[in-house]
Amino acid sequence: MSHKSHKPRKRFGQNFLHDKMVIQRIVNSINPRQGDQIVEIGPGEGALTELVLDKIGAMNVVELDRDLIPLLKIRFVMYDGLTIHQADALKFDFCQLQTDEKKIRIIGNLPYNISTPLLFHLFDSNHCIQDMHFMLQKEVVDRIVAKPGDSAYGRLGIMMQYFCRSEYVFTVKPGAFRPAPKVDSAIVRLIPHEKPPVEIDDFDEFSKLVNFSFTQRRKTLRNILKGKLEIPQIEALGIEPTIRPERLSLEDFTKLANTITANKK
C-alpha cells in the first residue's frame, strides 16, 4: 500500500528508519510475542510498528508530531489493534497502559535531543516496565553501558546501573535513516532492576555528588570532596582519596553519598 511520505522535522529530532534489514534485526532483538504489551515511542512513519504489529496484533504508540498521526492512521487502516496517543513522551504516564499483571515493553527510535531526559522519566515507571529497546546515538549508548575506567564512563553510566541492566545490542550506520544523521546509532536493551543494586539513603545527595564529580573529572576525589568529607573518612570506606571519579563504581559513589548524608545529620 503506498503512503505519503512525511518530511522529517528538525525540531522533533526526526530521522526515519527505512533500511528493511536493520528494521528486521531490531524486531528480532525485541522478540515480540503474542500477549506482550508493547508501547512504541515516536513511531515516525511506522516502519518498526508494522513488523511488531504483524507479530502481536495489538500495541500502543506515543507520537508527539500531530502531522504524523493521519499518516499512521492511513497506513494502519487495516489494523484494528493499533492505539495512537498524540502526546509528549516526556510527560506521558506509561504505567496507565498496563492492562493486567503483565509489565509493558517499551521500544523506539528516540529523538536525539530528548533521549537522556526521557530515560530518566521512564525510570520513574520502572515498576511497570519489563524491558526497553531503544535506538539512540551510539555515543549515548556507549555512555550507558560504560564501566569504571572506560573513557565514556560518567554520570549517565552510573545512574543507569542504579536503575537497570543495560546491553549494547548492535550498531546502526547513518545510511539506515532518512535523512542520514551525521553519527552512528546503536540499539540498547535496558532491563529495570526488581530492586536497586545498592541502598542509597538520600537519592538527591547521591545524584548531586555524581553530577558534581563529573563536572570536576580532572580533579582527585579528595579535592572534589573538600568541605564534604575528610580524607580519613574517605579512606575508612576503602576508597583511595587520590583517584579520579571515573575510577569509582556505583557502590563507591553510594558509600560516599551515604557518608555525606550521615554527616549532615
Order of strands, edge to edge, in the sheet holding 37-41? Answer: 82-86, 59-63, 37-41, 104-109, 129-137, 185-192, 164-172
Query: How many domains is the chain built from?
Result: 2
Contact at 8 Å (CB) between 167 and 189? yes
Q: Provide the grid cell at 8.
A: 522529517
Same domain for 83 and 182?
yes
Alpha-helical (H) ranges within the chain are 20-30, 47-56, 68-75, 115-123, 138-145, 155-163, 203-215, 221-224, 231-236, 250-264
Gyration radius (Cα) of the chain, Å: 21
Q: How far is CA 256 from CA 166, 214, 228, in A?
A: 24, 14, 10
Same domain for 226 and 154?
no
Same domain for 230 and 130?
no
Amino acid at 71: L
Q: What is the mean pLDDT of the chain?
A: 92
Same domain for 160 and 232?
no
Whole-angstrom distance, CA of residue 179 vs CA of residue 177: 6
Does residue 56 lie within any of the structural domains?
A: yes
What is the predicted pLDDT for the residue at 78? 93
Same domain for 145 and 245?
no
Does residue 120 lie within any of the structural domains?
A: yes
Residue ranges of the chain with pLDDT lower than 70? 1-14
Question: Cα(first)–Cα(last) distance of the chain, in Å?
Answer: 66
Does residue 171 lie within any of the structural domains?
A: yes
Same domain for 170 and 239?
no
What is the predicted pLDDT for the residue at 123? 94
The predicted model scores a pTM of 0.92
Q: What are phi and psi of 142, to 5 degrees?
A: -55, -40
Same domain for 150 and 257?
no
Q: Which of 192, 223, 244 is the last residue of a domain?
A: 192
Q: Which of 171, 192, 213 is the last residue of a domain?
A: 192
Residues 155-189 pLDDT 10s: 999 999 999 999 999 999 999 888 888 999 999 99
Same domain for 141 and 117?
yes
Q: Which of 192, 222, 253 is the last residue of a domain?
A: 192
Whole-angstrom distance, CA of residue 64 vs CA of residue 12: 8
Domain that holds residue 160: 10-192
What is the SS3 assignment for 173? coil
Q: Residue 63 belongs to a domain with what CATH number? A: 3.40.50.150
Output DSSP code: residue 246.
Answer: G
Same domain for 227 and 177?
no
Q: What are phi and psi of 66, to 5 degrees?
A: -55, -35
Same domain for 57 and 166?
yes
Same domain for 79 and 179?
yes
Q: Provide the grid cell at 237.
A: 570506606
